[in-house]
Amino acid sequence: MQHITRPLPSITQDNEDFWRSTREHAARLQRCNACEKFWYYPGPVCHNCGARNWTWTLLSGVGTIYSYSVLERAKGNPYEEDVPITIVLVRLAEGPVVMSNLFDYEPGELAIDAEVMIDYEDVNDEVTLIVFRPARR
């Protein structure tokens, strides 16, 4: 996998269950017990209805590309030397849209509505990020 020098997220009481699930390569998001919707990013209340009860629920791992941009210049950022970097917004099958990176794709596979699947990048012992690859049947 392409190396990217990553700024790291802060792990807090609001998101530690999420980051534990990605470390286990089995990503879960909160699903509201009241309205049954998923939301992203993790937080202390349902983003849809305001309920404060949820269940950490395993994701199917599939989604489609909502938009993309290939970053070619990033002067002054920690990943300045790692460009080009393919940034994607992926609409998960569960509903939420997440920002991530797409790896190991052929030119035609970087397209809006193209199907992708979750992969994992272990950045260090604490942080594993959700990344994506094309979903090939």
Partner 1 sequence: MATRAIIAGIGESPLGKVPGMTALGIIVDAALNAIEDAGLTVQDIDGIILHPAFHVSPRYHIIVAETLGIYVKTMADTTMMGGASYGVAIERAKQAVESGLCKNVLIVGGEKLATGHVSGSAMMASVGAHNLDYEYPFAATIPAYYGLLAQRYLHDYNADESDLAQIAVATRKHAARNPNATMREPISVDDVLNSPIISSPLHRLDCSLVSDGGAAYVISAAGTSKDPSREVEVLGIGQAQSYYHMGQLAEGKGDHDLVRTVVDVAGKRAFSQAGLTPAEINMANIYDSFTITVIVQLEDLGFCERGTAGKFAAEGNIDPGGKLPVNTHGGLLSNAHPGACGGMLGFTEAVRQLRGEAGLRQVAKHDNALVSSASAVASNFSVSILGAPIQ
Residue 96, number of CB atoms within 10 A of its CB: 18
Q: Is 76 in the site for partner 1 (CB under 8 A)?
A: yes
Closest separation between CB of residue 100 and partner 1, Å?
6
Q: Comparing C-alpha atoms, which of 55, 121, 67, 134 is closest to residue 94? A: 55
Q: Is 79 in the site for partner 1 (CB under 8 A)?
A: yes
Structure tokens at 118: 């979750």
Report angle CA 7, 71, 25 to the nearest 5 degrees: 50
Closest separation between CB of residue 33 and Zn ion, Å?
8
Using CB under 5 A, pick the residue from 8, 11, 26, 34 that binds Zn ion.
34
Q: Name which of partner 1, Zn ion, none residue 23 binds, using a CB cut-off of 5 to 8 Å depending on partner kind.
A: none
